Amino acid sequence: MQNLSLKDFADTGLLSAGTSTSATTLHLIESTEFASFHDSLSTSDQQWLKRQAFTGKSGQVAWLENGDGVIGAASEDSLATLGGLPYTLPEGVYRLSATTSFIALLGWGLGSYSFDRYKAASREPAQLILPDGSDAAELVNTVAATYLTRDLINTPAQDMAPSHLQAEVEALGAAFKANVRTVIGDELLDLECGAIHAVGRAADDPPRLMDLTWGNADDPKVTIVGKGVTFDSGGLNLKPAGGMRLMKKDMGGAAIALGLGYLIMAQNLPIRLRVLIPAAENAISGNAFRPGDVLHTHKGLTVEIDNTDAEGRLLLCDALSIATSEKPELIVDYATLTGAARGAVGAEIAAMFCNDDGLAQDLTQIGKTEDDTVWAMPLHDDYAYMLKSNVADLVNSAASPYAGAVTAALFLKRFIDDIPWVHFDVMAFNIRKRPGRPEGGEAMALRTIYRHLDRQYGAKGD
Ligand code: BES
Ligand code: MN
Ligand code: ZN
């Protein structure tokens, strides 16, 4: 079994500030600065820019007579500022004429990604020597964390079954001397995780729960949970072809949780981290769980299955119940949970449900500055009636066609006590290419939570 290698500096499109190779200089010009920059140029350079139709618009690239590049930029820095350059500039090494923001530099790193496990990359990304004084460690760790998440999601289900995901958690744990424990197959029943077991038992590769812990036992406890459905066929409530096509990404929540775990450990945040990854393939065979079945969950609640395609909340409910019993300071979960969340906020915004309004507001603000948009959705308790069952404590899926992302979140909330909790219902996949965001797997709402944790608990005196 092959592990996805944890990336190092050389693979991120970024070079350390001290790198002494010759490099092409790039002038980053905001549209408001363009007039004065233009005035400062020689007449022949001015004509040179004109011939290249350079008007200073964001995303434009042009060349001066001496070989320097000029890059148009929006006034607000984002991943888009430099994120398109790694694959539009010719291969080679570049440096910036002036220092720039963390988020812009991050865009270069994130825009340098390619997924080349099954086909050779068509070219190398252009490389950027980081300006002096930039936080190289945090940049490279953030890029590597995101690449890990993307690689995990982009890898097809044939090579990313529950056992592969287990191997990835173990490799991550080994890299940071974390403790990893996995409960597999029928042993999930001994742990009272009847829901994880039911979702995954029909697949050849048995379901499992990975439990990674790291850090000082006395530090504040933060637990991250990620939905690890390695392929979602829908189960007996089989998805139609179109709905199934992208379902290799249904472990996107797990991939984001692992990427975030990587970043926290690589940055050595002073927290006691726990990452819980319930993993299963939602497949069909003679022992598949069925509509009408009643599952026994870790919390002791019984759940009547209305729809086998509402499987993500079943994995999460057992993992969240285990997370809750330890009473951490914060639980964060990531899941590609509902199509309804995508209907509500689209593919590019993370739908956020939080039982602490102040925290939700803080995260919304952080999301803006991190260019990692999250949007608060209502945990509207009055809709809990939709989860009533005649034969069990609750159903897994509401019959109502309305508020599907809300009822999914309310289902999860039944398994959480009063612990501060954030639930992200994410796409985990870019369905279109944007600068710094290639098409394919994506680490949504990862940087937002990292920045929050860094602010809340960070700076171990460094
Ligand atoms: N993994 C899907 C949700 C999904 C679909 C996320 C497409 C992103 C894009 C999830 O397991 C699912 O099938 N949800 C159902 C729930 C329904 C049966 C209550 C859905 O959203 O249709
Ligand atoms: Mn499903
Ligand atoms: Zn699913």
Every domain of the chain and the residues it spans: 2-134, 142-457
pLDDT of residue 296: 98
- Ligand 1 and 397: CB distance under 6 A: yes
pLDDT of residue 11: 80
- Ligand 1 and 342: CB distance under 6 A: yes
Compute and round to an integer the Cα radius of gyration of the chain: 23
Give how far Cα 361 sits from Cα of 129, 331, 419, 441, 450, Å.
36, 17, 17, 27, 16
Ligand 3 center to 144 CA (angstroms): 26
pLDDT of residue 10: 61
Q: What is the DSSP letter of 349?
A: S
Which atom of ligand 1 is nearest to 407's Cα?
Answer: 19
Residues known to be catalytic: 239, 313
Amino acid at 247: M
CATH for 2-134 (3.40.50.1220, 3.40.220.10, 1.10.540.10, 3.90.550.10): 3.40.220.10
- Ligand 1 and 396: CB distance under 6 A: no
Among 309, 423, 425, residue to substitute to test ligand 1 (most atoms within 8 Å of Cβ):
309
Average pLDDT over residues 297-322: 98
Ligand 2 center to 310 CA (angstroms): 5
Encode pLDDT of 226-266 as tens digits: 999 999 999 999 999 999 999 999 999 999 999 999 999 99
Average pLDDT over residues 89-118: 97
Average pLDDT over residues 141-145: 97
Q: What is the pTM of this model?
A: 0.97
- Ligand 1 and 222: CB distance under 6 A: no
Average pLDDT over residues 109-121: 96
Give percent of the chain above pLDDT 90. 94
Window from 3-7, 136-140, 260-264, 418-422 with minimum mean pLDDT: 3-7
Q: Are 430 and 246 in contact (CB under 8 A)?
A: no
Ligand 3 center to 337 CA (angstroms): 6
Res 439 pLDDT > 50: yes
Confidence grade of residue 9 (pLDDT, cut at 50, 70, 90): low
pLDDT of residue 218: 97
Encode pLDDT of 326-344 as tens digits: 999 999 999 999 999 999 9
Residue 71 β-bridge partners: 28, 61
Residue 257 CA, chain-centre distance (Å), reads 7
Res 292 pLDDT > 50: yes
Between CA 173 and CA 180 the distance in angstroms is 6
DSSP conformation letters of 279-338: EEEE--STT---TT-EEEPTTS-EEE-S-TT--HHHHHHHHHHHHHHT--SEEEEEE---
Residue 170 CA, chain-centre distance (Å), reads 19
Ligand 3 center to 328 CA (angstroms): 26
Question: What would be the CATH architecture of the domain defined by 142-457?
Answer: 3-Layer(aba) Sandwich (3.40)
Judged by its nearest atom, the ligand closest to the C-alpha of residue 234 is 2
Q: Are 396 and 303 in contact (CB under 8 A)?
A: yes
